[in-house]
A = this chain, B = another copy of it.
Amino acid sequence: MEFFQLQNQDGEARAGRIYTEHGVIETPIFMPVGTRASVKTLWQEDLERMNAQIILGNTYHLYLKPGHELVEKMGGLHKFMSWPRPILTDSGGYQVFSLSDINKLTEEGVTFQSHIDGSKHLITPEKSMEVQRSLGSDIVMAFDECPKLPATKDTLKKSMELTHRWAGRCKTVELKSHQKLFGIIQGGLHEDLREESMKGLIDLGFDGYALGGLSVGEKNEEMVEFCRSFVPKMPKQKPRYLMGVGKPMDILNGIRSGLDMFDCVLPTRNARNGQFLTAQGPLNIKKARFLTDELPPDPECSCQVCSRYSRSYIRHLFNVGEYLAGSLISYHNVHFYLRMVEQAREAILRGKFDDYYRSFYNKYSSNFWE
């Protein structure tokens, strides 16, 4: 069985299947983020009920707490958190640069201070592989450097070359037999750098290819434009993954460009700010207009939250700081993302993706709540 099977292409949009030891993933797919072995506020039962097919774990966080040795001792991340379905772990690279208190980059790797207790650590490409091997994820990401945009082309080129050398070192580490390794294409918005990066990675040979370093400071249109132009040149027989992006329309634009996999903390993070994502755009439950509103958060949604609870009730919970508010909003938002990509997939299989895209866009962009 091939790791990835392309089922249909509609324009550039693709529907496919990824086969892992922990189950099949139907693409395009959204991966809820379970940073510290929990998709914030949700039970694993919730994720199963809403048909999350794969979740993401953050190597940086799990390395610091509870530590990858403990997770390995407990039988790996799947068993530790009781999640029998596929898991992807990132490399820790992005978090080392964005979260750690101090970090120092050398050819060898990155030395950093933990954001939790100030302890010092060195993460190298080899170390990232070892940690992800211990975690036992189904998809392992190569360790990359991730510069913030805007950056000079020279900076981006040097970073991309370092990422390439690191990718080579990642490949030398033996993973568990069920683990697949993805390479991360860098190079900012420069297509020539991205192509050079991709070519180098393809020569090394990976099970899938990711776009890193997007949605890190550039304009949204620039990212959309870049993906529309670049993604179709990526290998057709491998999964294509857009890392850490983004808003609902970013994901639909990504699918339209030919990308297959997405992850983002937005559905759970925005829940903590009271934001529901609905078919008619984001709805901020704090607003006074919802005080006596008996309607569900998203009248077009059939999730457990929208089937039972009113805006008025959830607004109250949010305003007094009840835990339940965060769970209800997170549940709906993750459900919203999963249904969105599921419907995109169905549309691609029927050769109707453009219709779906346009209809979603028109409704979502109506700014009904603003």
Check B36–A320 contact: CB distance below 8 A: yes
Min C-beta distance of A267 to chain B, whole Å? 14
B43, B74, B313: the one contacting A37 at CB < 8 Å is B313
A291 interface residue, CB < 8 Å from B?
yes
**Chain A, 310-360, CB within 8 A of any chain B CB:** 310, 312-313, 316-317, 319-320, 322-324, 326-328
**Minimum C-beta distance from A132 to chain B (A):** 18
| Residue A294, interface by CB 8 Å | yes
Write out the residue numbers on chain B whose beta carbons fall within 8 Å of the beta carbon of A319: 65-66
B323 & A65 in contact (Cβ 8 Å cutoff): no
Q: Is the CB of A320 within 8 A of B65?
A: yes
| Docked pose: A208 CA to B37 CA in angstroms | 48
Q: Which residue of B lies closest to A74 (CB)?
A: B312
Taking CB atoms, residues of chain B closer than 8 Å to A44 are: 308
How far is it, in angstroms, between the C-alpha of A323 and the C-alpha of B324 when the chains are bound? 10
Q: Report chain B residues within 8 Å CB of A328.
A: 43
Q: A362 an interface residue at 8 Å Cβ cutoff? A: no
Q: Which residues of B contact A6 (CB under 8 A)?
A: none
Interface set, chain A 22-57, CB cutoff 8 A to B: 36-38, 40-45
A366 to chain B: which residues have CB within 8 Å? none
Which chain B residues border A317 with CB–CB below 8 Å?
36-38
- For A45, what are the chain B residues with a Cβ–Cβ distance below 8 Å? 304, 308
Q: Is A234 an interface residue (CB 8 A)?
A: no
Question: CA of A66 to CA of B312 in the docked complex: distance in angstroms?
Answer: 10
A43: which of B65, B66, B324 is its contact (CB, 8 Å)?
B324
Per the bound structure, the CA–CA distance linking A324 and B42 in Å amounts to: 7
Closest to A291 in B: B70
Bound-state CA distance A42–B70 (Å) is 29
A97 interfacial by beta-carbon distance below 8 Å: no
Whether A292 is near chain B, meaning CB under 8 Å from some CB there, is: yes
Q: Chain B contacts of A65 at CB under 8 A?
A: 316, 319-320
**A37→B322 CA distance, assembly (Å):** 9
Is the CB–CB distance between A308 and B82 below 8 Å?
yes
A73 at the interface (CB under 8 A from B): yes
Q: By the criterion CB–CB under 8 Å, are B66 and A310 in contact?
A: no
A312: chain B residues within 8 A (beta carbon): 70, 74, 80
Q: Is A151 an interface residue (CB 8 A)?
A: no
Q: Does the CB pair A324–B38 fall under 8 Å?
A: yes
* Interface residues as binary, A295-312 with B (CB distance below 8 Å gives 1, 0 otherwise): 000000000100011101
Q: A65-B320, A74-B312 are in contact. List 8 more A-B contacts (CB 8 A).
A: A36-B322, A37-B317, A38-B323, A43-B304, A45-B304, A70-B291, A80-B316, A323-B327
A interface, CB within 8 angstroms of B: 36-38, 40-45, 61, 65-66, 70, 73-74, 80-82, 291-292, 294, 304, 308-310, 312-313, 316-317, 319-320, 322-324, 326-328
